[in-house]
Amino acid sequence: MLQISGTYTDLYQLTMAQVHYLNHNNQTAVFDYFFRKLPFKNGYVIFSGLESLLEALEQFQFTTQDLDYLQQQGFDSSFINYLKDFKFKGAIYSVQEGELVFPTQPVLQVKASLIEAQLIETILLNYLNFQTLIATKASRIRQVAPQSTLIDFGMRRAQAMGAYFASRAAFIGGFDTTSNVKAAADFKIPVTGTMAHAFVQSYDSELEAFQSYAQAHPQNCILLIDTYNCLKSGLPNAIKVAKSLQQQGEQLKGIRIDSGDLAYLSQQCRQQLDAEGLTEVKIAVSNQLDEYVIKSLQEQNAPIDVYGVGTNLVIGHPDAALDGVYKLAYANQKPRLKLSENIAKSTLPHQKQVYRLRDQNQQLIGANIIAKAEEQPDFNQMHHPFDLTKTMPLDQLKFEALLQPVMLNGKRQQAPTPLVDIKRFAEQQLAELPAEYKRFTNPHLYKVGLSTALLEAREKLRTTYKS
- Please give the residues from 13 up to 42 whose contact with its own copies meets the rule CB under 8 A: 13-16, 18-20, 22-23, 25, 29, 31
Of residues 206, 261, 288, the one with CA closest to residue 239 = 206
Q: Quick one: which of 40, 61, 84, 182 contacts its own copies (CB under 8 A)? A: 182
| Range 107-126, binding its own copies (CB under 8 A) | 114, 118, 121-122, 125-126
Query: Going residue by residue from 85 to 104, which x/- string records binding to its own copies, judged by CB under 8 A?
Result: --------------------
Taking the least distance from each CB to its own copies, the nearer of 74 and 249 is 74
Contact flag: residue 284 with its own copies (CB under 8 A)? no
CA 292 to CA 223: how far, in whole Å?
26
Contact flag: residue 43 with its own copies (CB under 8 A)? no
Taking the least distance from each CB to its own copies, the nearer of 43 and 316 is 316
Taking the least distance from each CB to its own copies, the nearer of 343 and 401 is 343
Extended beta strands in 201-324, E state: 222-224, 254-257, 282-285, 306-309
Q: Quick one: which of 193, 236, 405, 410 contacts its own copies (CB under 8 A)? A: 193
Query: Going residue by residue from 290 to 329, which x/- string records binding to its own copies, judged by CB under 8 A?
Result: ---------------------x---xxxx-xxxxx-xxx-
**Is there a contact between 321 and 129 (Cβ–Cβ < 8 Å)?**
yes
Contact flag: residue 179 with its own copies (CB under 8 A)? yes
Contact flag: residue 339 with its own copies (CB under 8 A)? yes
**Is there a contact between 84 and 22 (Cβ–Cβ < 8 Å)?**
no
Contact flag: residue 149 with its own copies (CB under 8 A)? no
Shortest spacing between CB 8 and its own copies, in angstroms: 5
Q: How far is CA 129 from CA 123, 350, 422, in A?
A: 10, 23, 17
CA torsion angle for 320, 326, 327, 331 (degrees, to 10)?
-170
Shortest spacing between CB 134 and its own copies, in angstroms: 8
Q: Using only the alpha carbons of the chain, give its radius of gyration.
A: 26
CA 444 to CA 143: how far, in whole Å?
16
Which residue stretches of 279-335 are H helix? 291-299, 311-314
Shortest spacing between CB 256 and its own copies, in angstroms: 10
**Is there a contact between 309 and 286 (Cβ–Cβ < 8 Å)?**
yes
Contact flag: residue 340 with its own copies (CB under 8 A)? yes
Count of residues near its own copies by CB under 8 A = 108
What are residue 204's phi and psi, to 5 degrees?
Answer: -75, -25
| Range 386-445, binding its own copies (CB under 8 A) | none
Contact flag: residue 264 with its own copies (CB under 8 A)? no
The piece of 70-78, 264-272, 295-303, 372-380 that touches its own copies (CB under 8 A) is 70-78
Shortest spacing between CB 25 and its own copies, in angstroms: 7
285 phi-psi bin (left φ>0, alpha ψ -120 to 50, beta other):
beta
Contact flag: residue 336 with its own copies (CB under 8 A)? yes
Shortest spacing between CB 28 and its own copies, in angstroms: 11
| Range 209-248, binding its own copies (CB under 8 A) | 212-213, 215-217, 220, 227-229
Cis peptide before 318 (omega within 30 of 0): yes
Which residue stretches of 75-145 are H helix? 77-84, 114-119, 121-144
Taking the least distance from each CB to its own copies, the nearer of 189 and 448 is 189
Residues 338-346: contacts with CB under 8 Å, at least 24 apart: 339/462, 339/465, 339/466, 343/386, 344/36, 344/385, 344/386, 345/36, 346/458, 346/462
The residue type of 375 is E
**Is there a contact between 104 and 38 (Cβ–Cβ < 8 Å)?**
no
Taking the least distance from each CB to its own copies, the nearer of 51 and 121 is 121
CA 338 to CA 328: how far, in whole Å?
8
Contact flag: residue 131 with its own copies (CB under 8 A)? yes
Q: Quick one: which of 42, 129, 139, 266 contacts its own copies (CB under 8 A)? A: 129
Contact flag: residue 201 with its own copies (CB under 8 A)? yes
